[in-house]
Amino acid sequence: MRERRWARERCRAREFESFVAGAAGRLLHAAALLTGEPDGQPAPAAEELLICALSRTYAAWDRLRGEDPYDRARRELTAGFLHTTRRHRRPRGGLLDRLPPRERLVLVLLLHEDVAEEQTAAQLGLPAERVHALFRHAVSEMRSSRPEPAPAPAPP
Amino acid sequence: MSGPDRKETEVRRMLAGPPPPVPPDLAARAVARGRRLMARRRLLRRIGWLFALLALAALLTWSADRPWLPPPARTTPPAEGW
């Protein structure tokens, strides 16, 4: 019984690690956009957010029942970010710094992750029109605040 | 029609900056934390079962001597004169 559990655990860890090897780069990028950390640099807050989401994905690995693990990890990431938005309000020198957390989330889900608007609305618990308005506002804010990609200042 | 699309493409391009470097131990840390999470959930589930079984045992011992029946009457007057 115990041996079988160990075998299953090793198998799950192997599958999970190959999934992470493929998905971590993209998910970490999305997480760093959410936490507002600058591009191309180590992003500790995003790592923490992602590890939390991935650990929950790992714990649910045997119960995914055909759900795409990437979708699951992204949902966990979104939920984790929504829980901790207060921690990420402070600017960190990233691209989406001047957007409020919810607009960042909508922008990242719709443009970086290509999630449908209805799905985003369902996950945020908002009506689709509200998500659309947040998205429009975020897009116009981004275009007005950054006419050209400025070099990100290094955090102290 | 192409107005919003053009704006979206522009912002999409802004989002596609260089990604942060992925630390090599990310998966291992996630697995370790995931295992702790599962162990905690397993423990909570076991405690829940334990309480359920204890409640069932308490119910069975309580109901063993049928306390819902009325107590035997002690005030029956002695039947005399028959």
Q: What are the sequence ranges of the domains in chain B? A: 6-65
Are B30 and A41 within 8 A, CB to CB? no
Q: What is the mean pLDDT of chain A?
A: 87
**Separation CA B67–CA B15 (nearest Å):** 72
From the CA atom positions of chain A, what is the Rg in Å? 17
> With contact defined as beta carbons under 8 Å apart, do A68 and A21 qualify?
no
Classify domain A2-145 by CATH number.
1.20.140.160
- Taking Cα atoms as reference points, which of B11, B34, B28, B22 lies closest to residue A99? B11
Q: Domain ranges in chain A?
A: 2-145
Chain B nearest-CA residue for A46? B20
Stretch A122-138: mean pLDDT: 92
Say whether pLDDT at A67 is over 80. yes
Are A17 and B27 within 8 A, CB to CB? yes
Distances in Å between the Cα of B35 and the Cα atoms of A113, B28, B44 are 28, 11, 14
| Partners of residue B41 in chain A, C-beta under 8 Å | 59
Burial class (CB in 10 A: 0-12, 13-18, 19+), B43: exposed
Say whether pLDDT at B6 is over 50. yes
B6 contacts chain A (CB < 8 A):
no
**Separation CA A135–CA B8 (nearest Å):** 10
- Taking Cα atoms as reference points, which of A29, A83, A21, A25 lies closest to residue A52? A83
pLDDT tens, B23-77?
A: 999 999 999 999 999 999 999 999 999 999 999 999 999 999 888 888 887 887 7
